[in-house]
């Protein structure tokens, strides 16, 4: 019994923190821009495959840490440029035609996925050695990868920084104002378009950090983004779209459900199903999610 409680607590912390990292960006885009970012999955795939592409350009196997770092910097630059291009080319232009934005974003995700699959098929064996802490740790009866612990702590740190940014900075205040009312924010002199674009780029950070942190310990393939996006959707819906407080609570609830089903009952195939049932039940009780508000904080 004690072992089960221990397992649940540890994996709730680990998975919950990771889900927080994965969902933060999606929730913010939904909450601030009010856009259903169906192309969110592309960020995961692009992170892995762009990094790999730059590694193959700048170095030869076995790739050194320097090559990896240069490749990551190049990937970040491309991702930021792509995000700006998406924002300016698609979102700004078709803001009044949501269906075009949503389908356009979805197409983008599929284009990235198919391009990755075409140029780097699964048998290529894409692997990023982004391990920060090697080895495993044993906590009580549970043995977990140190890298997973690092990813979980990273999740908390980044979420904390996001909260501080939104609560303590002027720009954060502008974002909160926009999440309350776009039109009034515009009247108050906030340059809404610039803030939107900033948020669109900012949301890349947690996703890229999560992808790089888990790349050496979990499987990567061109389709990986959809699974994470599904988790992000579940967390965001449960927490209340766009609300960081709600997203935090929801991440740990989903983490708890997954850890109980997957590690205590040893039924990992039921993890997704169980989480969805929890979300559905919660939505019936509280249709607007835990936070009950579509504002950032």
Nearer to other proteins, 81 or 121 (CB): 121
Residue owning tokens 């009780």: 285
CB of 164 to other proteins, least distance (A): 27
Nearer to other proteins, 114 or 143 (CB): 114
What's the CA gap between 40 and 204, in Å, rounded? 9
CB of 239 to other proteins, least distance (A): 12
Token pair, residue 117, equals: 């699959």
Nearer to other proteins, 104 or 155 (CB): 104
CB of 149 to other proteins, least distance (A): 28
Nearer to other proteins, 207 or 233 (CB): 233
CB of 181 to other proteins, least distance (A): 14
Nearer to other proteins, 234 or 260 (CB): 234
Token pair, residue 18, equals: 């990771």
What's the CA gap between 103 and 144, in Å, rounded? 39
CB of 122 to other proteins, least distance (A): 14
Instruction: Considering only the C-alpha atoms of the chain, give the largest distance between any 2 of them, rounded to a whole number of Å.
Output: 58
Nearer to other proteins, 35 or 204 (CB): 35
CB of 67 to other proteins, least distance (A): 27
Radius of gyration of the chain measured on its C-alpha atoms: 19
Nearer to other proteins, 172 or 272 (CB): 272
**Residues near other proteins (CB under 8 A):** 30, 34, 36, 38, 90, 94, 97-100, 102-104, 106-108, 110-111, 114-115, 117-118, 226, 230, 233-234, 236-237, 241, 269-270, 272-273, 276, 280, 283-284, 287-289
User: Of 12, 264, 5, 10, which is closest to residue 137 (Cα–Cα)?
Assistant: 10
Are 14 and 238 in contact, with CB atoms under 8 Å apart? no
CB of 100 to other proteins, least distance (A): 6
Nearer to other proteins, 104 or 255 (CB): 104
CB of 85 to other proteins, least distance (A): 13
């Amino acid at each position: 019994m004690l072992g089960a409680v221990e397992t649940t607590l540890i994996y709730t912390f680990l998975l919950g923190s990771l889900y927080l990292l994965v969902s933060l960006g999606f929730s913010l885009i939904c909450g601030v821009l009010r856009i259903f970012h169906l192309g969110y999955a592309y960020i995961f795939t692009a992170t892995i495959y762009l990094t790999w592409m730059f590694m193959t350009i700048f170095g030869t196997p076995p790739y050194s840490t320097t090559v990896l770092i240069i490749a990551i910097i190049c990937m970040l630059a491309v991702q930021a440029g792509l995000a700006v291009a998406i924002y300016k080319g698609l979102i700004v232009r078709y803001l009044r035609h949501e269906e075009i934005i949503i389908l356009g974003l979805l197409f983008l995700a599929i284009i990235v996925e198919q391009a990755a699959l075409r140029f780097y098929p699964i048998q290529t064996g894409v692997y990023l050695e982004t391990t920060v802490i090697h080895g495993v740790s044993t906590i009580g009866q549970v043995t977990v990868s140190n890298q997973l612990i690092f990813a979980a702590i990273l999740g908390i740190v980044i979420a904390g920084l996001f909260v501080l940014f939104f609560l303590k900075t002027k720009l954060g205040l502008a974002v909160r104002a926009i999440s309350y009312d776009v039109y009034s924010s515009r009247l108050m002199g906030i340059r809404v378009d610039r803030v939107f674009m900033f948020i669109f780029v900012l949301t890349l950070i947690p996703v890229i950090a999560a992808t790089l942190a888990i790349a050496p310990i979990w499987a990567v393939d061109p389709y990986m983004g959809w699974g994470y996006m599904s988790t992000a959707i579940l967390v965001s819906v449960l927490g209340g779209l766009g609300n960081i407080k709600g997203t935090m609570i929801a991440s740990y609830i989903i983490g708890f459900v997954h850890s109980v089903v997957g590690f205590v009952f040893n039924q990992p195939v039921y993890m997704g199903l169980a989480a969805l049932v929890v979300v559905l039940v919660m939505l019936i009780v509280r249709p607007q999610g835990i936070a009950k508000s579509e504002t950032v904080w």
